[in-house]
């Protein structure tokens, strides 16, 4: 906009200056001004688009945890490594990251996040409302499943429990979809799967346990905007951070589309954000890697019912990322 306006101004001035010297001066000024402004534009463009904003948040968060986090070494902790050794962490309390889903899809590029596998898991929990790993393509839940494949009364099980409301019997997912359609400005659109009376029957207590949805309006076009807060009691930053961000961003995308809204912000609140002791050197290497622009993630616009979505309704384009980290040790 600025370059265009200055160009028009200088060209108009040239009409009023007929002397050859003035003519040359004006055009020299034009090219100098244009070149100066273009260089500023290029610098700003590179700063804004040379890396995914999710990379920026991830790198800053990891540096902060490593620099000022609390080390639990020697303390009484529950998790252990597969070899039986205690799994200690460097932890930070109350980490909050904000992702603008209208700007980009929040996948890091330091290493590739398996976006479709993450979406498959969120559909397993929120759409299938399943607690059996036989309904899930990935193997990430295998260590917490019993011989029948069940993880107990956790995650999808809780979202599938029906509750009595004034409008009738609904589970939590259907209640959210109902309110987004009928009461979009409600301040009560939320879910909670940390149900204390069932914790003893869960093979793993929920880490990401609550979603709060809030609707605003884009004043430029009048469309409603869907925002969400993901509350997480605990997070293994290396193994799960961007995985959770990606899958709940996809959930906001889906809920927004079927509610005739646009995706807005995803605010991720982590009570205990930690880096395990055996992950520290991996994180230190990871955050020094080159970064790239965020991938383009598109969702099938024809799907109007949340329960009709499949992983194949998502397409991923231009996802350039660093090499994958293999055989990450997982504390249990």
Known catalytic residues are: 207
Q: Taking a C-beta distance cutoff of 8 angstroms, is the pair 226, 253 a contact?
A: no
Q: Running DSSP on this structure, what letter comes out for residue 107?
A: -
Element (H, E) at 48: helix 20-49
- Contact yes or no for 130/297 (Cβ under 8 A): no
CB-based contacts of 273, cutoff 8 Å, min separation 6: 61, 65, 91, 92, 93, 95, 235, 237, 241
Cα distance between residue 293 and residue 216, in whole Å: 28
Cβ proximity of 228 and 183 under 8 Å: no
Nearest to 71 by CA among 275, 253, 322: 275
Q: What is the DSSP string of 201-255?
A: GBSS--SEEEEEEEEEE-TTT--EEEEEEEEEEEEEHHHHHHHHHHHHHHHHHHH
> Token digits for 157?
């099980």
- For 36, the token pair is 């100066």
Between CA 90 and CA 274 the distance in angstroms is: 5
Burial class (CB in 10 A: 0-12, 13-18, 19+), 1: exposed
| Contact indicator for 90, 71 with CB cutoff of 8 Å | yes
* Residue owning tokens 């961007």: 242
Contacts of residue 79, defined as CB under 8 A and 6 or more positions apart, other chains included, come to 86, 87, 276, 331, 332
SS3 246: helix
């Amino acid at each position: 906009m600025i370059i265009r306006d200055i160009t028009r101004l200088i060209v108009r001035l040239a009409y009023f200056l007929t002397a050859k010297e003035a003519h040359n001066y004006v055009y020299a000024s034009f090219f100098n001004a244009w070149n100066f402004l273009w260089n500023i534009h290029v610098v700003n463009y590179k700063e804004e688009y040379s890396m995914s904003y999710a990379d920026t948040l991830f790198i800053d968060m990891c540096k902060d945890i490593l620099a000022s986090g609390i080390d639990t070494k020697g303390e009484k902790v529950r998790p252990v490594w597969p070899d039986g050794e205690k799994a200690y962490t460097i932890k930070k309390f109350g980490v909050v990251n904000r992702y603008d889903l209208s700007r980009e899809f929040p996948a890091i590029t330091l290493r590739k996040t398996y976006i479709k596998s993450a979406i498959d898991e969120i559909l397993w929990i929120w759409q299938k409302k399943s607690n059996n790993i036989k309904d899930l393509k990935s193997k990430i839940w295998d260590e917490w499943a019993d011989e029948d494949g069940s993880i107990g009364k956790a995650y999808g099980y809780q979202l599938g429990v029906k509750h009595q409301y004034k409008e009738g019997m609904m589970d939590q997912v259907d209640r959210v979809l109902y309110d987004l359609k009928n009461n979009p400005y409600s301040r009560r659109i939320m879910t909670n799967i940390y149900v204390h009376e069932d914790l003893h029957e869960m093979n793993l207590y929920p880490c990401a346990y609550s979603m709060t949805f809030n609707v605003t309006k884009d004043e430029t076009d009048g469309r409603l905007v869907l925002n969400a807060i993901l509350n997480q009691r605990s997070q293994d930053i290396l193994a799960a951070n961007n995985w959770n961000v990606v899958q709940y961003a996809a959930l906001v995308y889906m809920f927004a589309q079927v509610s005739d809204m646009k995706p807005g912000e995803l605010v991720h609140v982590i009570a205990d954000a930690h880096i395990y002791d055996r992950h520290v050197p991996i994180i230190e290497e990871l955050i020094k890697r080159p970064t790239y622009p965020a991938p383009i993630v598109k969702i099938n616009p024809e799907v109007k019912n949340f329960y009709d979505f499949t992983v194949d309704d998502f397409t991923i384009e231009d996802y350039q990322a660093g090499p994958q980290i293999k055989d990450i040790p997982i504390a249990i």
